[in-house]
A and B are shown apart, each in its own frame.
Chain A
Amino acid sequence: MQKTYYDPADLKKFGKISDWNQELGDKFFEYYGKVFEEGALTAREKSLIALAVAHTEQCPYCIDAYTKDGLQRGVTKEEMMEAIHVGAAIKGGATLVHGVQMMNKVNKLDG
Chain B
Amino acid sequence: MATKSLHKRESDLANSNRQLEILSNGIFQNGELPTFKNKIAESNQFPLKAKKLEILQINVGYMCNQVCDHCHVDAGPDRKEIMTRDTMRQCLEVIKNTGAHTLDLTGGAPEMNPDFRWFVEEAAKAGIKDFIVRSNLTIIRANKKYYDLPEFFKKHNVHVVSSMPHWTRGKTDKQRGDGVFDASIKALQVLNAVGYGMPESSLKLDLVYNPSGAFLPGDQATMEKDFKKALKEDFNIHFHNLFAITNLPISRFLDYLIASENYEDYMYALVEAYNPTAVANVMCTNTLSVSWDGYLYDCDFNQMLELPVNSKVKHISEYDESLLEGRNIVISQHCYGCTAGAGSSCQGSVA
Residues of A within 8 A of B (CB): 12, 38, 42-44, 68, 71-74, 76-78
Contact = CB atoms under 8 A, between A and B. Distances in A.
A72 B209 CA distance: 11
Given A12-B268, A72-B215, A72-B216, 16 more contacts: A12-B272, A42-B222, A44-B222, A68-B215, A71-B211, A71-B213, A72-B217, A72-B218, A73-B223, A74-B218, A74-B227, A76-B166, A76-B168, A76-B170, A76-B171, A78-B170
B226 interface: yes
Contacts of B227: 74
Nearest to A47: B218
A72 B220 CA distance: 11
Given A71-B211, A72-B216, A72-B217, A43 B170 contact: no
Contacts of A12: 268, 272
Contacts of A77: 170
Nearest to B269: A68
B167 to A, nearest CB: 8
Contacts of B217: 72
A73 to B, nearest CB: 5
Contact of B211 (A38, A72, A76): A72
Contacts of A43: 222
Contact of A44 (B166, B213, B215, B226): B226
A53 to B, nearest CB: 20
Interface in B216-243: 216-218, 222-223, 226-227
Interface string B185-221: 0000000000000000000000000010101111000
Contacts of A76: 166, 168, 170-171
A97 to B, nearest CB: 36
A73 B171 contact: no
Q: What are the 3 closest A-B residue pairs judged by CB atoms, nearest first? A: A72-B218, A73-B218, A71-B215
28 contacts: A12-B268, A12-B272, A38-B222, A42-B222, A43-B222, A44-B226, A68-B215, A71-B211, A71-B213, A71-B215, A72-B211, A72-B215, A72-B216, A72-B217, A72-B218, A73-B218, A73-B222, A73-B223, A74-B167, A74-B218, A74-B223, A74-B226, A74-B227, A76-B166, A76-B168, A76-B170, A77-B170, A78-B170
